[in-house]
Amino acid sequence: MAKRIEADNVTAYYGNFRAIDSVSMVIERKSVTALIGPSGCGKSTFLRSINRMHEVIPGARVEGSINVDGHNVYDKDVDVTAVRRMIGMVFQRPNPFPTMSIFDNVVAGLKLQGVRRKGELQVAAEKALRGANLWEEVKDRLDKPGAGLSGGQQQRLCIARAIAVEPQVVLMDEPCSALDPISTLAIEDLIGELKDSYTIVIVTHNMQQAARVSDKTAFFSLEKTGEPGRLVEYDDTQKIFTNPSEKRTEDYITGRFG
Amino acid sequence: MTDGDMNRPANTGPSVLPAQRTSENSFAGLGGVSSPDTAADEFSPRTALPSVEVPTRTAPAPAPDVTDAPGEPLPRKRRVGGEGYFKAVTTVGGSAVLAIIAAIALFLIVEAIPSLRANKENFFSYLKWNPNPLDDAHFGIASLAFGTVLSAAIALLVAVPIALGIALYLSHYANKRVATILGFAVDLLAAVPSVVFGLWGREYFAGPVTDFSVWLNKYLGWIPLFSSETGFGHSVLLGSLVLAIMILPIVTSLSREVFMQTPREHEEAAMALGATKWEVIRTAVLPYGRPGIVASVMLGLGRALGETIALAMTLGSSFLISWSVVEPGGNTIAANIANSFGEANQQGRSALIASGLVLFAITLIVNMSARAIVRRRKKFLAAAAT
């Protein structure tokens, strides 16, 4: 169920602006990898390059390769929609489809894949909602609009929607930055559970969160505004936060910079 | 923990924020101090929540000269000024709309009554229109109302799918330059006066439409809509197609605006699930834009129901209820007013005003049902607020 990601010299552009420059890193199966760094350092850009969501912005493109279990997602004849089904994504702001019920939100991805049988959808919806620790809270109101849930519930609904299609990898782009501490804790606990089945990559501004949830941490930084972001250090989370090899990493996590 | 927790009001004396999970070690946090040598080997990121050291701060002591006596009074509410004038202007504007509508309705009703009294037939079921003879007026709205609704319905049926297609192409498929040029062309179409559409429809477009009618009749003649006993020509189909072209721009530009406003995050949510472009449109763009689509269609329908001169010029002016759209004939309330007004005496004009009242009612009903559709949608969304 989980796959290994190898990024090789990934360089991403917005038009002529180079946002990240030759990022190479290996993300292991069934691990949680946190991407940290100051704003504008390209961590979100790198995350979005993994499932080819970067290129949906007009003028944006990616060079280099990202191999998922040895297959480059940027190969010319790869179906981009299949890549995105394999690599699910959770966004910064909870974005359930506003016109859909909770149930329809969860099975939206399955319906896109052509699953129509009601029974099959119900089984999948319950499994995904249980997986996202939301089932008990919403099982009696599956036909109510997804937008009616609290922010934290909406974000777990989005996680349920992402895992309902049974991806191999789940990308999370600052999933807790719009949530209160209790919802944040719920999501962090969930990440710990999801790790048993999925490879997880999470972008966060909250270094304590990175420390709490991740096995490995990648620190991105940029020299100055207008320069591309680069991967400064990538190591075990414990090492990054206790004994980083790079001075810049230490400066950042101790709050002396960024 | 979020950043906000680190910025709590100052405590007196050193303290430690409560840890949610047991932890003995402290390590670098946002405001903390790096201590690489502290219990590094015991550190486990999964279970340890770092305690945060809060620097010692003392709350400022109240200044000695402060008393409990009330200070300067707060500024008083202003009674007159720009605020009040502006409110008055907007209120007058808002009420004027109601007053105008009431005035129109009243005018229509008062003016229509004399002819309705003189009418020897049932106004709602009689087909013909012969209101002028003073003691022998025979007229009814049935065929006109039927023709109005039929031609508007066909126009919508033709125009809406095309308009939505153009709108989606402009908002989601075309590149910026093509979209700008095409959007301009669509707006230009809206600028053509309806009398020009009428002339063009009558003198030129009638030819191709007649050929098309013959073809329809040959292959689909078994459907009542396309059957014909009297030949082909200035038919309901011609009028409806001209009407369709006329309402195309308004439906297109409105729904395009709505589609462009689809929040980026909804489209990205669909894309991240592996949706193709069409699937993104189906799951995110169309559901989001539905109330807007309904509104734009209703505006188009309003225009189609009320369109006068183009239909007066292209329709064959018959007074029959016929389902055939290819036969010469057809008429609408508005077209009949334009055609009959010149030769109408005072009673005839009163009868025409009565027909105008019916058109007013039809438009009102259409608008209200459209609002009902939009509101039912809103109810679902409003449930989200509770």
Q: Would an 8 Å CB–CB cutoff place A245 in contact with chain B?
A: no
What are phi and psi for residue B333, nearest 5 degrees? -60, -50
Note the pLDDT of residue B50.
52
The domain segmentation of chain B, as residue ranges, is 2-58, 129-385
Note the pLDDT of residue B37.
42
pLDDT band at B38 (very low <50, low <70, confident <90, very high): very low
Q: Is residue A176 a contact partner of residue A184, using CB atoms and an 8 Å limit?
A: yes
Please tell me the pTM assigned to this model: 0.78
Q: Would an 8 Å CB–CB cutoff place A127 in contact with chain B?
A: no
pLDDT above 80: residue B64: no
Q: How many CB atoms lie within 10 A of CB B135?
A: 6
Chain A neighbours among B 19-78 (CB < 8 Å)?
20, 27-34, 36, 40, 43-46, 48-50
Q: Do residue B31 and residue A145 have CB atoms under 8 angstroms apart?
A: no
Q: Do residue A206 and residue B284 have CB atoms under 8 angstroms apart?
A: no
Q: Do residue A207 and residue B275 have CB atoms under 8 angstroms apart?
A: no
How close A150 comes to chain B (CA, Å)? 10
pLDDT band at B12 (very low <50, low <70, confident <90, very high): very low
Q: What is the pLDDT of residues A95-123, one digit of tens each?
A: 999 889 999 999 999 998 888 899 999 99
DSSP strand pairing (A216-222 vs B138-139): unpaired
Which residue type, as a one-letter code, is found at position A69? Answer: D
How close A22 comes to chain B (CA, Å)? 24
Q: Do residue B383 and residue A148 have CB atoms under 8 angstroms apart?
A: yes
Q: How many CB atoms lie within 10 A of CB B64?
A: 5
CATH topology of domain B129-385: MetI-like fold (1.10.3720)
- CA A129, A54, A230, A91: dihedral to nearest 10 degrees? -30
Among candidates B36, B266, B270 on the partner chain, residue whose Cβ is nearest the Cβ of A243: B36
What distances in angstroms separate CA B288 from CA A53, A143, A213, B5, B266, one per listed residue?
21, 18, 36, 37, 9
Q: How many angstroms separate the CA atoms of A95 and A174, rounded? A: 13
Among candidates B271, B290, B383 on the partner chain, residue whose Cβ is nearest the Cβ of A144: B383
Residue with tokens 């991240």: B272
Residues of B in contact with A112 (CB under 8 A): 270, 273-275, 279, 283
Note the pLDDT of residue B285.
92
Q: Would an 8 Å CB–CB cutoff place A70 in contact with chain B?
A: no
Q: What chain B residue is nearest to A244 in terms of C-alpha separation?
A: B36
**What ipTM does this complex have?**
0.89
3-state DSSP assignment of residue B88: helix
Higher pLDDT, B91 or B20: B91
Q: Would an 8 Å CB–CB cutoff place A178 in contact with chain B?
A: no
